[in-house]
Structure 1
Amino acid sequence: MKTALGIAALFGLFMLALSAGRLWLSPDQLLVSLRAGPEEDVLLWHLRMPRALAGLFIGAGLGLAGAVFQSLLRNSLASPDIIGVSQGAALGGVAAQLAGVVTMLGALSGGVLATALIFVLSLSRRAGLDPRRLILYGIGVGITCSAALSILLIRAGDAAAGQAMAWLAGSLNAMGWQEVQIAALALVVGALVLLPASHSLDRLEFGDDPARGWGLAIHRLRPLLLLSAALLASAMVALAGTFSFVAFVSGPLARKMGRGQVSLVAAAACGSGLVTLADIATRIFAPSALMPAGIYTSLIGAPLLVLILHKKVTRDQI
């Protein structure tokens, strides 16, 4: 029942994203536009459709990556946008913009380098990739990348800094069919690696020793899944900038819906819903300005996270 309701809600948000804008489409007008096809309806098929699909795919990738990080490291703070992965991608993307290089390439490289540095620092001779060290070093790398990013923005000219800030906030304004294809490809590749590991993630949450008793090769499984999730998050940041709180809140929200169980598909759906809802908000509250959707993911995601944590704390105290 919950799955059906979730699918219906996500479909409803997608249809609303196709309808919303300075020129609203009624259900009848939307149906006519969908039937007309891309050659006859430019507004729907060349502007709103790729934007809405990109929001779904990017949100799903961030939600999936965040849930994998939190489950593998058994910590709700272990999200790509908290432990340095997204900050590295953001730094690489802005550096590429200022250097005149392709932003996507720079962001992906920055995310990969930040992840590699965190992994190297977190390696332990006895335990391999230590989750606690990874979180602490990741936060440190994230703060360092944020400081370096501030230096770049201060030294850049007003125009370049403004363009970089708009990208950093996370925006779907410039999404086209090429970006949709890249986002879909990254999501499919990431899902093929991460989704089959759902059962292993359930077992890892009981601790490393029980997981080893069940025959899991933790020293190989954890680095592989973390690296895959980090690459997926970096790819999504490279496409559209940083959408704050999406990766962070999707996992806890999915757990709340699934009564505490790990559900990567539900986390991906929550991420899609958050980004789509934020993009709809940009077109409702600022249709002419088209504010970055990342601003609204923070406004939506932060209260959700506070509510989830408040309920958890209240339940633990009872």
Structure 2
Amino acid sequence: MRLVLMLLALVALAGLALAAGRSWLGPVEVMQALFSGPEGVGRMLWSLRLPRLITGLVAGMCLGAAGLVFQTLLRNPLASPDVIGLTQCAAFGAVAALMAGLPPMAGAWVGAVSAIILLGWLAAHPREGLAPRAVVLQGLGLALLAGAGTEALILRAGDGNASMAMAWLTGTLNGAGWPEVGHALWLVPLLAPLFTARRILDRLELGDDLARSLGLRVGVLRAALGLLAALIAAGAVSLCGPLGFVALAAGPVSRWLARGRPDPFLAALVGAGFVTLADVLARGLAPAALLPTGLYTALIGAPILLVVLRRQMSDKSS
């Protein structure tokens, strides 16, 4: 029932996103524009708002699912891509690729995979294997290092590339068109395996020893799921920049909706809802200013995260 309600809420937000902007459209106008094609009012919808909506939905789904996967694998609600340094490394790779004239998504993937390998090496214990708490602590340092590297790249870039990179680093869907939709659709096949991994994540959360007793190859599954989550998170960063708090907040919110169980599909829907709502606010509250979507994801995600975490702490204490 909660999944159905979340789907209905996401459809409503998508309709609102198509209507919002400097020129607001009514429900009838939106439907007419969708079916009439890119002519008249439909041109604004098909060339600007629809590709922006699709890009934001895919990016939000990727960040939401990736956040839940990392939080489950490391058994820590703070272990999201933007806390353990993965988002910052992906941003560094994307900016480096942009400065070199290469596809930003390729650079983001290289940065994210490098972060995963480096964290695995830094946080590995010779006897106990991967230490989840060490991943979070090492990731904080890696995030600071990658952020400093990104700033150094921007300072050495020309005015045009520097201004483009600075705008992108705020997390924005401004300028998203059909080419970005094409890049976003590349991430959908990577999302599909995570949607079917609900039971695996549920068992991995029980602990390594118990998961092995249930027949799971813990090391292989953790590496495969972590790599997939890193790739989709980096892909989302390459599309619209680092959108803060989406990956961090989507996991706890989806767990609350799923009564404490890890559900990547539900987390993806929550992430998509966060990004879509933030984009509606960005275009609806100040359409002339074109404020970055990342500003509103932080304003939405941070209070929700605090409330959900507070409720989870109260449930555990009782």
TM-score scaled to structure 1, two decimals? 0.94
Correspondence for 1:103: 104
Displacement of 1:127 in angstroms is: 3.6
Correspondence for 1:22: 22
Instruction: Figure out how many residues of one structure are paired with residues of the other and give that number.
Output: 317
What residue ranges of structure 1 are gaps of 5+ in the alignment? none
Q: 2:198 & 2:317 partners in 1: Cα distance?
A: 30
* Match runs of 1:286-305 below 5 Å: 286-305=286-305
What residue ranges of structure 2 are gaps of 5+ in the alignment? none
Correspondence for 2:260: 260
Q: 2:129 & 2:317 partners in 1: Cα distance?
A: 35
Q: Answer yes or no: is the 8 Å Cα contact 2:94–2:108 preserved in 1.
A: yes
Displacement of 1:184 in angstroms is: 2.1
Displacement of 1:159 in angstroms is: 5.0
* Matched residue SS, 1:291: coil
Correspondence for 1:166: 167
Alignment pair present for 1:239 and 2:239: yes
Correspondence for 1:199: 199
Q: 1:102 & 1:8 partners in 2: Cα distance?
A: 35
Q: Answer yes or no: is the 8 Å Cα contact 1:245–1:302 preserved in 2.
A: yes
Of the structure 1 ranges 113-122 and 48-57, higher mean CA displacement relative to structure 2 is found in: 113-122
TM-score scaled to structure 2, two decimals? 0.94
* Matched residue SS, 1:83: coil
- Aligned CA RMSD, in angstroms, stands at 1.7
Q: 2:126 & 2:220 partners in 1: Cα distance?
A: 14
Alignment pair present for 1:152 and 2:138: no
Q: 2:182 & 2:146 partners in 1: Cα distance?
A: 29
* Match runs of 1:118-137 below 5 Å: 118-137=119-138
**Match of 2:63, as an amino acid?**
L
Deviations 1:115-162 (A, max 9, x none): 221122233343443323322222221121112223334444555433
* Match runs of 1:36-115 below 5 Å: 36-38=36-38, 41-115=42-116
Deviations 1:52-101 (A, max 9, x none): 11111110011011111111111001111110110001112222333444
Displacement of 1:173 in angstroms is: 1.2
Q: Answer yes or no: is the 8 Å Cα contact 1:129–1:223 preserved in 2.
A: no
Correspondence for 2:9: 9
* Matched residue SS, 1:260: coil
Q: 1:194 & 1:4 partners in 2: Cα distance?
A: 20
Q: State the percentage of identical aligned residues.
A: 47
